[in-house]
Chains A and B, each alone.
Chain A
Amino acid sequence: NAGVTQTPKFRILKIGQSMTLQCTQDMNHNYMYWYRQDPGMGLKLIYYSVGAGITDKGEVPNGYNVSRSTTEDFPLRLELAAPSQTSVYFCASSLQTNRANEKLFFGSGTQLSVL
């Protein structure tokens, strides 16, 4: 009963370093998302994917890259970490039908600090 699994839970990066946040889901969901959560700001969509091989930008994509080579995995890449990328990152997935995309299942988050 894993659901959406994110790793790592915590990470500290130096400015300019790169890293990949991993996300995998075992629910055979076609849609996957990456959000960032800043204090008092709610959740902002970074990138999303509607299926393997397809990705699209959200509200705040600058400084990030994603790929979706399989249905299960949706890694988020930071190439040159900046202090502005200090945040809590959430991966989510949903099974899309013709109805609204409301039933997002979230991972437990990755807390990233860039110093």
Chain B
Amino acid sequence: GQQLNQSPQSMFIQEGEDVSMNCTSSSIFNTWLWYKQDPGEGPVLLIALYKAGELTSNGRLTAQFGITRKDSFLNISASIPSDVGIYFCAGQVGSGNTGKLIFGQGTTLQVKP
């Protein structure tokens, strides 16, 4: 089945630093999504990408839908302590309301004040 490889698995950075993480697959996806999970909570959608090459921002977060449709990137600029959490990428195969997403393994981010 389809798999998403997310890297890095974990990051420990200093407050104020920029962060980059990515998600790759051997399969083509029509939609790429980025979620954040705070400790003890469910994931929350950060950014949704619908077209190859699309670059979308949400505050200090910027995500891109790779041209090949097999990858996506998330950047966080000027990190702050509340950025701590697990970041998941997710891809949807097919179109319309098929109801299924494939999730990456997650990138755990820790920020040192």
Contacts and interface: CB of A to CB of B under 8 A. Distances in A.
A93 B60 CA distance: 27
Interface stretch (B12-20, B72-80, B95-103): B95-103
B30 interface: yes
Q: Say which size band chain B's interface belongs to.
A: 20 to 34
B97 A40 contact: no
Contact of A45 (B42, B88, B100): B100
Contacts of B105: 40-42
Q: Considering the complex of A and B, which 10 residue pairs feature the smallest CB-CB distances, nearest first? A: A106-B42, A42-B103, A96-B97, A100-B31, A43-B103, A42-B105, A102-B48, A102-B33, A90-B42, A48-B99
Interface of A: 4, 31, 33, 35, 40-45, 48, 50, 56, 58-59, 90, 92, 96-98, 100-104, 106-109
Interface of B: 1, 4, 6, 9, 30-31, 33, 40-45, 48, 50, 88, 90, 92, 95-101, 103-106
22 contacts: A31-B97, A31-B99, A33-B99, A42-B88, A42-B104, A43-B103, A44-B103, A45-B101, A50-B97, A97-B97, A98-B96, A100-B92, A100-B95, A101-B97, A101-B99, A102-B48, A102-B92, A104-B101, A106-B41, A108-B40, A109-B40, A109-B42
